[in-house]
Structure 1
Amino acid sequence: MLLFGLDLKPFFTGPSKKEDPVHMCSTSPESIRQEVEILKTDFNHRIKHVLFNSILVTYMTALIPICFTQNTLYYDTWWVAQHVLMTWVGAFLPLCLHALSPSYLDTLHRCALHLGKWTKVENRNPHMPYSSWSELQIWQKGSLVKHVRGLFKAEGCNNSAEPANTTHQRFYFLFEKPLRVLHWLLIFTWCAILYQIVQLIQSSEWSQIIGLSFMLASNYIPLFRLMRDRHLLSKAYKDQASSPLRLRSS
């Protein structure tokens, strides 16, 4: 309920690759901002779905068995807590890879390039030429505009965002770099794997060794897929990195 409110449909439906949104290279600033709102809502829904399902898997596979243990059975509370956490990690990573496919991240990235970014100019020069911001115009990089919230400078190649709009700023920050989300997932995966390796080295009981070995092996699959996706996407964006002023088109 904390994730989806009173709407029960998201509990039973999840993101499908067949339903991935398609980026439309529009020249209308209003259409670009509307697309950003749609993609932002879709991205938030996918993250909520990943969190809900990963928590549900952890609850059913790790927490429920503990509730049915006999009172006479002794178990290491600290080890059980780590096991529950690693179970959640093992469910979270595959769900993330399914929800945030490379093609989907590419769509978000291209939309972010069309959206652009504004930076507020603090040290205002009274003789600095500027224009009044218009929601019907796409502003080029370096443009100075006067908005009700201050003076802003265009930082993106093409800028359709509204100055001082926090939603647009967050969207551009997350997806302006095509590999940013993948890098975060890679760091998270490597940290989880290294932690499990350390725990495996320190473990002496056979049950802990077997459990850690299985979870460690299962995390190698998301790691391989993330490394593969990063390698392929870095090659795909190599031309764009060499000519950053050229905006990609679909």
Structure 2
Amino acid sequence: MSCTENESGPFVVFFLPAVVGCLTILLAKRWANSQVVSGSSTAVSRRRKIIKDPLIKRPLPPIALKMLPPGSKKANGVTKKGCIGGDEELMQKRVSQPARVSPSSSPSAASDMKYTEGPVAPKHIPFPVIPHDGELLFEFMTLVFTLLAAALQFLNLYRTVWWLPHSHTNQAMNFYLIDIHLVSFIVAILSRRFLLSLTMAILRSFLNPKFLPHATVASRMFILGVILGVLAWCTYFIALKYPLMKLFYLCYPAIIYFLLFGFRATPFLALDTGGARSLHSCSSDQRQVRAEVEMFRQDFNYRLNMILFNSVCGAYYTSFVPCCFAQSYLYYSVSLTSQQTGFVWGALFCRLGAALLPARYCDVAHRAALHQAPSSESPSPSSWCGARLWAPDPSHDRFYAVFKNPSTLLCVFLCLQLALIFVQLCLLFSNIPWHGYLAIFLLLFMNYYTMFKLVRDYIVAWKVYKAESMIQEKNINAPVT
């Protein structure tokens, strides 16, 4: 049976559009897949995004060989698509370039090979959100703890034996021996941060956010003026009753403050973090990596200064200053007052460390540290340049050692807190006076709360960084050329 012109009409009308539609769908699908692959890889050039390697995706198509006379244009490589001259030119270009991937026996295994150059970029795991106390709650609890510590130290100094039948007093302390101006001085020093936090919390509740920066500056100036005025008033009356040498005891922390922070008022009124950003930007530019690590290193040192100064200042004014201004005829246990000073300092140090160096902050610094290399992996100073890795720098080496695994830093704070609690529990079973029992018992409440915070942060950080190290080792051991 022969096909006429009228019989070919249904084939053209029905089958040809279907074939064209299928080809269009296949081409669109392949184009979409190529866009996904090209969007996820930034190290592959534009030519390689378009021309795919036949060794990976599909076998080489059969090449039709033709016998061509020597000297012809096609033999010289000026051929059309699909001829042997163009394939030889393409293979020569591929041979001249560095090999990316070695061909595998199976196409699926070859498609999983990585296209990377140089060192493998670190993989960051999202750190879980850990709830922490707000600024106002933290300052309130710290104020209550320090005021309680000061009251317990005054109890160690001015206690009485009021329970004896022939005692001439019915009160637990000789309140008439306590200088009210000294107590006011101590309370003003200890409450400075809480007053500012309370003022800012009130202003945030009803003030427009665009006026908040100006209100913050005004409130800091007002609180600073009030605190300095109260301190000057108390110092005047203290100078009338005590030798001039004892005034040096009151002003000694001010000398340390000016050496650490200069003439800035913000660290005195608040736990300032130095204005460091809390986000990390992944970058392969070593100049940017060095600048970011240097910023985090300075901020970490600043936070350590804040922790040391505020913990020493709190223990100094709550436990040491009352002993300095005690009357010469007053008898008290030096060992008991000294251990009270040490317990207060240890509790404040761990509490401020958990607040200023939380697990979230350590994770951000850890991400920045992973992008740097220690000096042992860096080139020699003579061959070092700005575009390469780290030059020998001991400060950056220390930063890398601390934040390579921040759970170690959290473990240090946790061990200090556990050691402090262990010593206090051992003293409870020793032969100490009744006021010593009371002091240790009340201070343990705050230590238990801080221990809970540190244990939680350490467990979360330890699990996160353990999983991150396993992923990093797997990424390093992957076949990369």
TM (norm. structure 1) is 0.78
The one-letter amino acid paired with 2:290 is R
The one-letter amino acid paired with 1:78 is S
Match of 2:394 among 166, 169, 173: 166
Q: Is the 1:30–1:136 contact (alpha carbons within 8 Å) kept by the matching residues of 2?
A: yes
1:108 aligns with 2:359: no
Secondary structure of the residue that 1:181 maps to in structure 2?
helix
Q: How does 1:110-129 map to 2 (within 5 A)?
A: 110-119=367-376
The one-letter amino acid paired with 1:87 is V
Match of 2:443 among 198, 207, 215: 215
- Cα RMSD of the aligned pairs, angstroms, is 2.4
1:30 aligns with 2:30: no
- Cα distance, 1:48 vs structure 2: 0.5
Distance 2:465 2:261 in 1: 38
Greater radius of gyration (CA): 2
- Cα distance, 1:28 vs structure 2: 0.7
Match of 1:6 among 252, 257, 262: 262
Match of 2:302 among 38, 45, 63: 45
Deviation beyond 3 Å, 4+ runs, structure 1: 15-20, 131-134
Which moved further from structure 2: 197-206 or 76-85? 197-206
Q: Is the 2:405–2:465 contact (alpha carbons within 8 Å) kept by the matching residues of 1?
A: no
- Cα distance, 1:19 vs structure 2: 5.6
The one-letter amino acid paired with 1:110 is R
Partner of 1:128: none
Q: How does 1:3-152 map to 2 (within 5 A)?
A: 3-4=259-260, 6-9=262-265, 10-15=267-272, 20-119=277-376, 132-137=383-388
- Cα distance, 1:231 vs structure 2: 1.5
Higher strand share: 1
- Encode CA deviations 1:145-177: one digit per residue, 9 max, x unaligned: xxxxxxxxxxxxxxx322x21111111111111
Secondary structure of the residue that 1:119 maps to in structure 2?
helix
Partner of 2:411: 183
The one-letter amino acid paired with 2:263 is D
Q: Is the 2:414–2:454 contact (alpha carbons within 8 Å) kept by the matching residues of 1?
A: yes
- Cα distance, 1:26 vs structure 2: 1.3
The 1:37/1:16 distance shift into structure 2, 3 A limit, reads: closer
- Encode CA deviations 1:102-126: one digit per residue, 9 max, x unaligned: 11000111111111213279xxxxx
Secondary structure of the residue that 1:115 maps to in structure 2?
coil
Secondary structure of the residue that 2:429 maps to in structure 1?
helix
Q: Which has the higher contact order (CA 8 A, sep 6+)?
A: 1
Q: Is the 2:286–2:387 contact (alpha carbons within 8 Å) kept by the matching residues of 1?
A: yes
Partner of 1:192: 420
Secondary structure of the residue that 2:299 maps to in structure 1?
helix
The 1:212/1:219 distance shift into structure 2, 3 A limit, reads: same
- Cα distance, 1:20 vs structure 2: 4.8
Higher helix share: 2
- Cα distance, 1:18 vs structure 2: 8.7
The one-letter amino acid paired with 1:86 is F
The 1:18/1:5 distance shift into structure 2, 3 A limit, reads: closer
Distance 2:377 2:450 in 1: 40
Q: Is the 2:274–2:302 contact (alpha carbons within 8 Å) kept by the matching residues of 1?
A: no
- Cα distance, 1:72 vs structure 2: 2.8
- Cα distance, 1:62 vs structure 2: 0.9
Q: Is the 2:271–2:306 contact (alpha carbons within 8 Å) kept by the matching residues of 1?
A: yes
- Cα distance, 1:233 vs structure 2: 1.7
| Count of aligned positions | 215
Distance 1:62 1:89 in 2: 13
Q: Is the 2:273–2:299 contact (alpha carbons within 8 Å) kept by the matching residues of 1?
A: no
Distance 2:313 2:359 in 1: 25
Q: Is the 1:117–1:172 contact (alpha carbons within 8 Å) kept by the matching residues of 2?
A: yes
Partner of 2:460: 232
Which moved further from structure 2: 226-235 or 41-50? 226-235
